[in-house]
Amino acid sequence: MLLQDNLTLVEDCFKDARITDDLCPSSMKKYASSIRTFFPVIGDKKFQDLGNEDFDRLIIRMKERGASSARISNIIASMKWITARLQDKGIVSERLNLLTIRKPKVMKKETNYLTETEVRQFLDCIKRDIAQRETVRNIRFFALVTLLMQTGARIGEALSINRDDIDRQNKEIGIIGKGGKPRKLFLREETLQLIDNYLSIRRDSQQALFVTQDRKSRWQQTDVGRSFRKYKRLSGIKKNFVIHTLRHTFATQYLMKGACINVVQTALGHSDPVTTLKYYLPVA
């Protein structure tokens, strides 16, 4: 449990993030989990009393407990995010120097993506299901997966789209990406047709592009996961992959076809080309 003072500060920062779209809901959940982990490990302290030595203590103690470097780095990143905002408000002093906080080295993993054959395999199993019995559920999932594969959008970005965000004349969708950065998703004609087909069978007035089966609320990531796991199993693909792999697949296939790195950077919504290079340079 967080100290009440800390909990109030965290809630205030997340409230600001919701207003400014600084974080998507899924990121807020991850940050909250990391923050809840941080304080019990280093000892219950107030944000105002934190120093760089507390982050060193976190690393040592979590390593002793067998935590991975990636997990520790995620916790530190979450704490740096909220602490920076508390410093901006004058709540946390500059004694805590965010620039000199150390993190354990995380070994770079090979970027996981689907080959063109695996992409066809995955999409074909959804098409077969639709051919057997066309439902709102499978039409919806096919439209979402095609959108993700064709644009490289994050799942949270795709689920935040409203009907009115779609510019059919220019075949594009305006979204607010990670960190509150606006960008465009550019659509192929086939993707737009799949979206319109899905909307045509819904018969509701919900503004959200992707909605729940009862059409009462926006489709959530946890529910998408159920459909994703079903078709992953039916596809017969042996490779271990998750829904975010579709974003990696978009970027990797794009680079393999000769796109330059800054075109991919723009499409993915990375503010720094170094981020794109970190994941995709070996492919280029």
Catalytic choice (31, 85, 113, 154): 154
Neighbours of 210 (CB within 10 A): 23
Residue 168 among the catalytic residues: no
Neighbours of 245 (CB within 10 A): 20
Nearest to 28 by CA among 196, 186, 178: 178
Catalytic choice (140, 254, 270, 280): 270
Residue 270 among the catalytic residues: yes
Catalytic choice (140, 178, 232, 248): 178
Q: Which tokens belong to 258?
A: 């000769």
Judge whether 175 and 160 are in contact, CB under 8 Å: yes
Catalytic choice (31, 198, 231, 279): 279
Catalytic choice (127, 181, 215, 244): 244
Q: Which tokens belong to 35?
A: 């923050």
DSSP state of 44: S
Residue 254 among the catalytic residues: no
Q: Which tokens belong to 241?
A: 């992959």
Give the HSE-up count for residue 167: Cα atoms under 13 Å, Cβ half-sphere.
10
Residue 215 among the catalytic residues: no
Catalytic choice (140, 247, 248, 280): 247
Residue 279 among the catalytic residues: yes
Cα separations in angstroms, 65 against 60, 79, 204: 9, 20, 51
What does the alpha-carbon distance between residue 34 and residue 12 come to, in Å, rounded to a whole number?
A: 17
Residue 178 among the catalytic residues: yes
Active site residues: 154, 178, 244, 247, 270, 279
